[in-house]
């Protein structure tokens, strides 16, 4: 097992294994599966911070994805064990938040994907942008990393 090098300190992580259903006609993990893993680790992180689906519904607020980018750097194959990491790297404490993602293969320490998602706080009942409630400030705030560069660390590696 290789040492993992994360782009930012102290990622929230989720372990997964590439299953047969994740493989496409080119015999590697389909790109949409990586997007699903990013969504899963982001949601697991929110739940860990005390902001689960019940909280979102009770508050009539949610963080909705407005933009995403992914750099697919290496392929993975059926049976590969992977670790997805996420960080909240920016927010305005009012309406928007940005997450970064990194998926690594512990067997060789290779980064397979880097990604980014931007979110806006919405009112669930109307779908309209709304200010973050105090519960979002209290939950997400302590997890925000120090300011980072505008580009993916190590892009192209």
Query: DSSP for 96-152?
Result: EEEEEEEEEETTTTEEEEEEEEEEEEEETTT--B-PPPHHHHHHHGGGBPSP--SS-
Low-confidence spans in the chain with pLDDT less than 70: 147-157
CATH number at residue 64: 3.10.129.10
Cβ contact 102:109 at 8 Å:
no
**Residue 46 structure tokens:** 């929110």
Dist CA 71 CA 69 (whole Å): 7
Does a structural domain hold residue 151?
A: no
Which range marks the domain in which residue 130 is found?
16-143
Dist CA 45 CA 11 (whole Å): 10
Does a structural domain hold residue 152?
A: no
In this structure, what DSSP letter does residue 15 have? E
pTM (global) more than 0.75 = yes
The tally of domains found in the chain comes to 1
Give the pLDDT of residue 151: 47
Give the pLDDT of residue 146: 76
Give the pLDDT of residue 155: 46
């Amino acid at each position: 097992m290789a040492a993992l090098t994360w782009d930012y300190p102290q990622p929230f992580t989720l372990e997964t294994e590439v299953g047969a259903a994740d493989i496409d006609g080119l015999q590697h993990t389909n790109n949409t599966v990586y997007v699903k893993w990013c969504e899963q680790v982001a949601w697991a992180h929110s739940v860990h911070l005390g902001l689960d689906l019940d909280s979102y519904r009770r508050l009539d607020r949610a963080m909705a994805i407005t933009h995403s980018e992914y750099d697919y750097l290496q392929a993975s194959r059926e049976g590969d064990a992977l670790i997805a990491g996420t960080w909240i790297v920016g927010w305005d404490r009012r309406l928007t938040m940005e997450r970064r993602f990194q998926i690594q293969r512990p067997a060789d320490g290779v980064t397979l994907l880097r990604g980014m998602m931007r979110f806006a706080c919405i009112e669930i009942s109307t779908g309209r942008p709304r200010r973050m409630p105090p519960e979002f400030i209290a939950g997400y705030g302590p997890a925000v990393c120090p300011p980072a560069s505008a580009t993916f660390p190590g892009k192209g590696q």
